[in-house]
Structure 1
Amino acid sequence: MSRRVRYSKNEAARVIVIIADLTALILGLWILFALIDANSANDLVSFTRSAALWLAGWSHDLFTMSTDWLRTVLNYGLPAVVYLLIGHILAARIRRA
């Protein structure tokens, strides 16, 4: 295999891992902000909330327990774990191919 093909595979895998890690970071940051009751008028908190709502749209209200903090952790933590797993598994497959 030529060096160029190997480098492009590694670069593609690296981009996928970075995207997966960033999505999980945004979701984790929103969980933290929600748990510590961060100021929703703050631009960073507002942006993080909007991005997390979009990223976790497919799992929104999947869990509906009465405890707010647990519902937040599950509804935003599950997508974070799924994005991490899919991203890292896909990157590993690309590197091996």
Structure 2
Amino acid sequence: MTTLSRNASTASRVIALAADILAFIIGLWIVLYLLDANPGNDLVQVTHDTARWLATWSHDLFTFDKEWARVVCGYGLAAVVYLFVGHAIAGRLRKH
């Protein structure tokens, strides 16, 4: 394995891991919201703030009547996009 190939492989793993972590944070917020976690708890606040920042473009994209459906779809869309794009980029790097 050449140095360039090894570097591309390492970079692809880092990108895929970053995408997984971002999606996990958003998914964790969805679960905490659905379980009606205490909004005064520091972990819940940090998770919500981070997920909201990561999903700035999608968190209020949908206008369902039920708030839980807006949260699941809006934040869930962001998580899926992070996973799809991150792993697509990682896959392209692995091929080169």
- Report the TM-score range of the alignment, normalised by the length of the smaller protein: over 0.9
1:4-60 Cα shifts (integer Å, max 9, x gaps) = 111100110011001100010000000001001101111111100000000000112
CA distance in 2, matches of 1:92, 1:35: 33
Where does the alignment leave 5 or more consecutive residues of structure 2 unmatched? none
TM-score of the superposed pair, with normalisation by structure 1: 0.95
CA distance in 2, matches of 1:80, 1:17: 13
Question: Which residue is equivalent to 1:79?
Answer: 78
Q: Aligned letter for 1:87?
A: G
Question: Which residue is equivalent to 1:32?
Answer: 31
TM-score of the superposed pair, with normalisation by structure 2: 0.96
Equivalent runs, 1:1-97 vs 2, <5 Å: 3-97=2-96
CA RMSD of aligned residues (A): 0.9
Q: Point out 4+ residue stretches in structure 1 off by more than 4 angstroms.
A: none
Q: Aligned letter for 1:15?
A: V
Give the C-alpha shift of residue 68 in structure 1.
1.3
- Per the alignment, in what secondary structure is the counterpart of residue 12 of structure 1? helix
CA distance in 2, matches of 1:40, 1:77: 20
Give the C-alpha shift of residue 91 in structure 1.
0.3
